[in-house]
Structure 1
Amino acid sequence: MNELKKYAAIGGAIALVACWPFATGKIGEAIFKDGIASYDNSVIAIENLSYDRGYLSSTAQSRIHVVDPGLSAELEHAGYPTDIIVNHEISHGLLSISSVSTFETEANKSDFIKGLKLTTESQLTGTTDLLLSSQDANFVNDDLRAQGVEKLFVAASEVSATVQKDGQFSLVYNLPKTELRLDNQSEFIVDNVKGQSVGHYVGDIFIGEANIGMDKLLLNDVEGQNHNEVKGFNYTSINQIKEVKDKPEDNVLTSSNKLTINEVVTDSGTLENGVFDLSFEELNYDALIKLVPLLQEQEITPEKVQQLMLSFDLLAAKGFKVNLNEFSADVLGSKVNSQILLTLPAGTARASQNANKLVQTLQGSSELVIAKKLVDETPELRMQMDELLVNEFATEEGDNYRLSAKIANGQIELPNGQKMPLFMLLGFLTYLR
């Protein structure tokens, strides 16, 4: 009897393994069809054309169609396709479903679309890996040639991602080269764009860390005889939520954003080691998730304006900080560094209807440090600095000049104790240029 049970167990296992591809195939078909059916977009529509499910593999075909009349007309006028057919080759594994999707258009209008390939693998645990790749493509058509475009080239690129069941994702992309050249040989070239993001979305707000870098951007204007080049560009953004226990209405978001540039070369001069570090702190999360979608609306109705004002009022009532932590660069061999810190304390009611009270409540400071060498080598700056020194708006500190101000009660307080209305800060900030 024991031997019979062992053989039965073995037979059951074999049957399970043999039948499981049927189950994974059925699961894959359900995911495919449900995903298409649930897609809702006013610009693009997706439809299932066919799904032929087999034992170890299936084939399917879907259609992506531009339904927005304005965009569709523009694409057709420019000679680009408005319909894309996607062919799917699907494999059923024991623990996963994988697919390879290729793309085609009517009469193969687009070499770029034809060169796309999407590979996916979905585990039964809910994790999906994706890889989208493209081939070298020149987008120039008759319409662009008539407008003087000689070349619009995008090198073979890749985007890979891993998406978890709970919505967490990681994304990595690489675009080696983009090149635009006109008939007069003016050109725009971007080299080696790379980036990655790790996090998730809550509504329209990304929570996590994102980074994008670029080796070089070149802009040559032959007619204007201008040459501009950016080297070593990098931008990082980190969004974090700080949760308040038992008080979700008091949860706040902090967004830290830092841009660095190794070098900018223009006909006017060279800038090196540029840093722009801006942070938004203690933003009320409830107000923010209501405000962001409204700011993205294309059509603003009176009702949406009212909602926008109410969301801003909540944001202001809870208070927040906007800090330009560093805005610095080496210009003509000399360092320039500035900083602006602003705080709106909690408690400002109906801020959208009481701008004066909002200004009165702001607190903060502003500072600019600039090397004497740079001032001496720039005649216009020398004249401005002499005036600032005479009026005691600026002070000398070693090899530098310093301009600083405190902000409180709707006024700016300068180092000499003189006060002026806050709106005059705009004039003060012109010296940061």
Structure 2
Amino acid sequence: MLKKAAAGAGAVLIVLCWPFATGQVGERIYLDTVGKYDSPYVSITNESYDRGYLSSDVVSRVEIKDAFKPFFEEEGLPTVWHIDSKMTHGVFGISSESQLVLDDDLKPIAAEIWGKDVSPITFTASTALTRKTNFTITVNPISYAEELGAKADTSALVLKGVVDAKGYGEFEYALPEAKLTTTANEAMVLTGLSGSAKGILDGQFWIGSQDFVLKSVSFIDQINEMQVSLEDMSVGMSNVLTQADAKASDINDQIMTNTNTATIGKIVSLNGDEFTNLNFNLAFSDLNYSALSRLGDMADDLNENMTQAQAQEAALALDLLVAKGLKIKLEDLSVTTPQGDVISNLSLDVAPGLARASENMAKISEKLSGQINLILPQAIVDEDPILLERAQMMEQGGVVVLEDGNYKLQMQIKGDQIVLASGDQLPITMLLMLFM
């Protein structure tokens, strides 16, 4: 009996001590995460961490980095923000509720937009001892109107997800409705925005998938009773890593396949024309991931004056990317217009084996192969004098044919030559001149 009582007492003590232990673990997780946080936009530091037995009070300091401070300063917004978090220590982990701290200048503005004593943004999270975290971020509903006529009404934007200790995560978000009206009586009405993602951010690239869905959006000129609208839009993206050789395990041998898709059910233009069934499917495959990562890391430098060393590094990465070979496939780019269906697809393959491509980009054509197909309604061409002139020139040259009310282009690419449907061959440079 005493043993059972002692065991029971021991169990109770363990449970009673555990919240304090998880509090210590929670503090280490928090400080470790803040210390390692890296973003091009903001820096995050710990302002205070007051750990108690069952709970902790934490204040985090978020500062906009110098490159983006002018955007906030021009709008009269602070460049330093604080987030107040209440953490609760449980048996199996910690949970937290966080809110944005508003200073005296921002409180009246927030009260007008979100309501009195309503936090603009709330963040709740639950972190297990394994560092797996479930979180929910909510941007609360907005109901705002200016004296000059500008209005904003939105439902809550909610983002939910989970992320593990290695950074792999899954999340989904939704904004059911939003309406914005300007002082010029122009409005944007949005319904059914949602999306999700699975994967991990690796440097510049999201390895995994993302998708985005929009039920409808309209841009309305309420004075002139004109509008542009879009319905049933979906966008998808995926990046998948595989080994170039199934037997290889070196990370430098990884290749990436990037796939991008988009569909739109209907677009109504300003003059009332309807375009339906827009489809887009583009894939890049056999991309050497090591070379791609090096180019991605240099993306910001490529837009500025590069040093000789940076230019050489970019050239070496480009050489590796081309030397390993790559494929581009536009599987479908099509839309139904009032004049008929536009249908197109193309594929381009750069075979591996070309060394130092950056020294002579023209040599890439030696490894190039592929095909291009296009069907374009004659009615569309006839409406544009410049397009009509080009089409007639290409028809005379045998590059396109006019058949059943459509201009049709069908060709194969073999090295520096294009092979037409008739079997005739032309230098690829001539094709480029025709499209310029």
Q: Same fold (TM over 0.5)?
A: yes
Q: Which position in structure 2 is the counterpart of 1:52? A: 50
In structure 2, what is the equivalent of residue 340 of structure 1? 346
Q: 2:269 aligns with which of 252, 266, 282?
A: 266
User: What SS is found at the alignment partner of 1:114?
Assistant: coil
Contact 1:130 1:161 (8 Å CA) reproduced = yes
| Residue aligning to 2:63 | 65
Equivalent residue for 2:330? 324
Residues 211 and 236 in structure 1, CA contact (< 8 A), matched pair in contact too: yes
1:102-126 deviations in whole A, cap 9, x for unaligned?
Answer: 1122215152693210000001122
Over 3 Å counting, the alpha-carbon distance change for 1:265 and 1:50 in structure 2 is same
For 1:310-321, list aligned pairs within 5 A.
Answer: 310-321=316-327
* Aligned CA distance change for structure 1 residues 196 and 23 (closer, same or farther; 3 Å): same
Structure 1 gap ranges (5+): none
In 2, distance between residues paired with 1:284 and 1:10?
Answer: 60
Query: How far apart are residue 81 of structure 1 and its match?
Result: 2.5
Q: Which amino acid aligns with 1:168?
A: Y
Secondary structure in 2 matching 1:107:
coil
C-alpha distance in 2 between matches for 1:155 and 1:66:
27
SS at match of 1:275: strand
SS of the equivalent of 2:167 reads: coil
1:119 corresponds to: 124
Identity of aligned residues (%): 29
Aligned with 1:99 (options 85, 96, 100) = 96
Match of 2:310 in 1: 304
- 1:275-424 counterparts in 2 under 5 A? 275-297=279-301, 299-302=304-307, 303-332=309-338, 334-371=340-377, 374=379, 378=383, 388-395=394-401, 401-424=407-430
Which amino acid letter does the alignment assign opposite residue 104 of structure 2?
A
Counterpart of 2:157 in structure 1 is 157
Query: Which piece of structure 1 moves more, 359-368 or 58-67?
Result: 58-67
User: CA RMSD for the aligned pairs?
Assistant: 3.0
**Hey, what's the Cα distance between the residues in 1 that align with 2:194 and 2:434?**
38
Distance in 1 between the 2:312 and 2:144 partners?
44
In structure 2, the CA distance between the partners of 1:201 and 1:82, relative to structure 1 (3 Å rule), is closer
Task: Give how far 1:265 is off.
Answer: 1.2
Shift of 1:233: 1.2
Matched residue type, 1:272: T
Give the CA deviation at 1:170. Answer: 0.2
Q: Which moved more, 1:236-245 or 1:291-300?
A: 291-300
Q: 1:104 & 1:230 partners in 2: Cα distance?
A: 38
Aligned to 1:5: 3
TM-score, normalised relative to structure 1: 0.87
What SS does the corresponding residue of 1:218 show, helix, strand or coil?
Answer: strand
Report which stretch shifted further, 175-184 or 251-260.
175-184
Tell me by how many angstroms 1:210 deviates: 0.7
Give the count of matched residue pairs: 421
Measure, in 1, the Cα distance between the counterparts of 2:377 and 2:176.
Answer: 38
User: 8 Å contact 2:411–2:420 — kept in the other structure?
Assistant: yes
Structure 2 partner of 1:88:
85
**Deviation at 1:226?**
6.4
Question: Is the Cα contact below 8 Å between 1:151 and 1:180 reproduced in 2?
Answer: yes
1:131 to 136, 157, 162: 136
Q: Does 1:32 align with 2:30?
A: yes
- Residue 125 to residue 354, structure 1, CA distance change in 2 (3 Å): same
Q: Does 1:22 align with 2:25?
A: no
Which residue pairs with 2:191 in the alignment?
191
**Pairing 1:230–2:230 present:** yes
